[in-house]
């Protein structure tokens, strides 16, 4: 999560940043990896959720999550087909 509206992917072994994903207008509140490791979902205080390609950092889909006043927390269903 970040205050500048970005989500950053880091290499744990080296500590180097792999990529920065920009797309939210307000701070990122929640980040989850899809179980296949190929997608990342971020949710922001701006009321959006963005699905990213984890290899490229490109946006797959952007969703309007709802009220920007409620803290957006995201989680995939066990089968990976739905989003809470």
Tens digits of per-residue pLDDT, 3-33?
899 999 999 999 999 999 999 999 998 888 8
Residue 1's contacts (CB-CB under 8 Å, 6 or more residues apart) are 7, 27, 28, 29, 30, 31
d(CA 19, CA 15): 12
**What is the per-residue pLDDT across 27-72, written as a single tens digit (0 to 9) for each?**
998 888 888 889 999 988 888 889 999 999 999 999 886 655 454 5
CA distance 81 to 24: 23
Q: Considering the entire predicted model, what is its pTM?
A: 0.80
Question: Largest alpha-carbon pair distance within the chain?
Answer: 38
């Amino acid at each position: 999560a970040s205050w500048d509206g970005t989500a950053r992917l880091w290499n744990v072994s080296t500590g180097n940043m792999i990529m920065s994903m920009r797309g939210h207008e307000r701070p990122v509140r929640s980040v989850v990896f899809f179980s296949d490791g190929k997608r990342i979902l971020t949710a922001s205080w701006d009321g959006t959720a963005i699905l990213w390609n984890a290899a490229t950092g490109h946006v797959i889909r952007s969703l309007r999550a709802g009220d920007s006043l409620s803290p957006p927390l995201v989680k995939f269903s066990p089968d990976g087909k739905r989003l809470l």
